[in-house]
Amino acid sequence: MDDQAVRERDARAYEAVYEAADFTELRRRYKNFVVPWTITFMAWYLAYVACCNWARGFMSHRIGDSHINVALIFGLLQFVSTFVIAALYGRFANRKLDPLAHGLNAKYKRERRR
């Protein structure tokens, strides 16, 4: 099979997947997870940066009798929140995205054989 025929076959297979209702649903589910969590994380991050710049008294407040202050706790919580969101996404993807993606992959492979 020549390159042009392969490209046309692949293009038809991609179009069939793109036009499938499952693909639209996959994109919808992905956006419904990613957009709110991205906005939430960015707001949390910008609040941290803003507090570090303009609420220095609050951020330098020591926790108990230690050298640990609010800024350090907030900074560590940035890492924690990143890992929590990643874990939530992994769980979400396994339950809600992967089944659709596997079906679309099978559809693509079927279309390529035609």
β-strand partners of 62? 69
SS3 content of the chain, % helix, strand, coil (to 5): 85, 0, 10
Average pLDDT of the segment spanning 89-108: 97
29 in Cβ contact with 100 (< 8 Å): yes
Average pLDDT of the segment spanning 29-58: 97
pTM: 0.85
How many domains does the chain divide into? 1
Who contacts 7 (Cβ-Cβ below 8 Å, separation ≥6)? none
The tens digit of pLDDT for each residue in 78-89 reads 999 999 999 999
Q: Which domain holds residue 71?
A: 3-113
Average pLDDT of the segment spanning 37-62: 96
Structure tokens at 109: 């492979």
